[in-house]
Amino acid sequence: MPDSQQRSQASQAVWGGEDRYLLDRATQVPVVHSVAFGYPDFDEWYDVATGKAEGHIYGRNTNPTVAVFEEKVRLLEGAVAATSASTGMAAISNMLHALLRPGSRVVSVKDTYGGTSLLFTEFLPAFGIECTLVDTTDTEAIEAEVARGCNMLYLETPTNPTLKVLDLRRLIAAGHAVDATVVVDNTFATPINQLPLSLGADLVVHSATKFLGGHADALGGVVVGDAELVKKVYQYREINGATLDPMAAYLLLRGMKTLDLRVKRQAENAMAVATFLEAHDRITKVNYPGLTSHAQHEIAASQMTGFGGMLSFAIDGGLEAVKEFLPHLQMAHRAANLGAVETTVGPPATTSHVECTPEERAALGIPEGLVRYSAGIEDTADLLADLSQALDR
């Protein structure tokens, strides 16, 4: 049996972090619904409260179920430290607020998640933080902006919803050349397909709501990586109060046990769907990093071990055609979510970029007639048949 730190990801997904809080020979982690943790011994209480001894004091700060969730993600990402938050956006915004100061400069790309993009364009500038968003596929332009000096380089790959791929090795090197903290949103790829910390990134953030949980029944976020940086994020988050709920942590933990199985099946389905759609005469464009026609396919292949469960495509006829097509799908939720066991579809206007106006979406290069497709774990042939009948209508 390999050392518990060296197990493969499929095993970590099942066993990682599980043993610490098992109670009365239970085989499953308990959901600890307790606001506070009591200490009859004053000295012990004092030591835990002042961080000299391990333990829990108050639920806004830490909780046993939440700690197991953090530990499992830490092991899956090969990180030194992990901390969680109530949602993916809570993880991202707490990380940014904890690490940036008035006068700080962030370089990122135009294609980050809609909510993240709004932090860069509206909320952070209000605190005197300069955010420069560069064309996602122009690696030289990103490098040039980074070289002007920045405190943080914030990356997301593959992107939402157009599945652009950033060259992580090259950009992480550019960020470190100017001593910037390099952060990667790994939500779309998952640690099964991509390990940014192993490529040199300082922090990885996730919306655990998506693939990590995988069952569309719990919101959560997590930040993993460098111990000092994670500690700063934790210290801000415990005061900011965007704490992950223990019940949500439990649902995410249970979902994560099948992460490896799910993500591999989702990638198989996404590849089959992308290949099918690319050959279909009603489809004008398919975005999937696994296709050799994808502009950054080579980069994706060099930094990902699988191409993920997400794709997007444009139907001949624009938004009107999308409106007509979507209701005919029988095996897909039309919803603003992704990464679930059920196939989920939607246009950016109601999903990833619902916060943006049509003009803002156009400025980001997101066509209104695009469909984002999150492949579930259904039978591949059934998914293809469903798409085929809906497109034939």
Ligand X SMILES: *Cc1c(COP(=O)(O)O)cnc(C)c1O
The one-character DSSP state at 122 is: I
Q: Is position 221 an interface residue for ligand X (rule: CB under 6 A)?
A: yes
Q: Which stretches within the chain are classed as H helix?
A: 9-15, 42-49, 64-77, 88-99, 114-118, 139-147, 168-177, 190-193, 227-240, 246-256, 259-278, 297-303, 318-325, 358-363, 380-392
d(CA 191, CA 170): 19
* Span near ligand X by CB under 6 A; candidates 18-26, 87-95, 103-111, 321-329: 87-95
CA distance readout (Å), 173 to 88, 177, 202: 26, 6, 11
CB of 115 to ligand X, least distance (A): 6
Q: Is position 185 an interface residue for ligand X (rule: CB under 6 A)?
A: yes
Strands 344-346 and 370-374: antiparallel
Q: Is position 347 an interface residue for ligand X (rule: CB under 6 A)?
A: no
Q: Is position 274 an interface residue for ligand X (rule: CB under 6 A)?
A: no
- Tokens linked to 231: 């500690």
Name which position in 63, 87, 136, 374 contacts ligand X (CB under 6 A): 87
Name which position in 9, 63, 187, 312 contacts ligand X (CB under 6 A): 187
Q: Which amino acid is at 380?
A: T
Q: Is position 351 an interface residue for ligand X (rule: CB under 6 A)?
A: no
Q: Is position 210 an interface residue for ligand X (rule: CB under 6 A)?
A: yes
CB of 185 to ligand X, least distance (A): 5
Q: Which sign, positive or negative, has the C-alpha torsion 164, 166, 167, 168?
A: negative
Active site residues: 60, 113, 185, 210
Q: Is position 196 an interface residue for ligand X (rule: CB under 6 A)?
A: no
CB of 89 to ligand X, least distance (A): 4
Q: Which of 289, 259, 340, 252 is nearest to 160 (CA)?
A: 289
* Span near ligand X by CB under 6 A; candidates 65-73, 140-148, 207-215, 377-385: 207-215
Q: Is position 115 an interface residue for ligand X (rule: CB under 6 A)?
A: yes
Please name the residues in contact with 301: beta carbons below 8 A apart, sequence gap of 6 or more.
Answer: none
The one-character DSSP state at 279 is: T
d(CA 311, CA 284): 14
Is residue 60 within 8 A of residue 212, CB to CB? The reply is no
* Span near ligand X by CB under 6 A; candidates 165-173, 202-210, 244-252, 315-323: 202-210
CB of 385 to ligand X, least distance (A): 28
CB of 16 to ligand X, least distance (A): 21
CB of 54 to ligand X, least distance (A): 28
Residue whose C-beta lies closest to ligand X: 88
Q: Which is nearer to ligand X, 142 or 338 (CB)?
A: 338
Neighbouring C-beta atoms of residue 102, cutoff 10 Å? 8
Q: Is position 366 an interface residue for ligand X (rule: CB under 6 A)?
A: no
The contact set with ligand X (CB under 6 A) reads 87-89, 113, 115, 156, 160, 185, 187-188, 207, 209-210, 219, 221
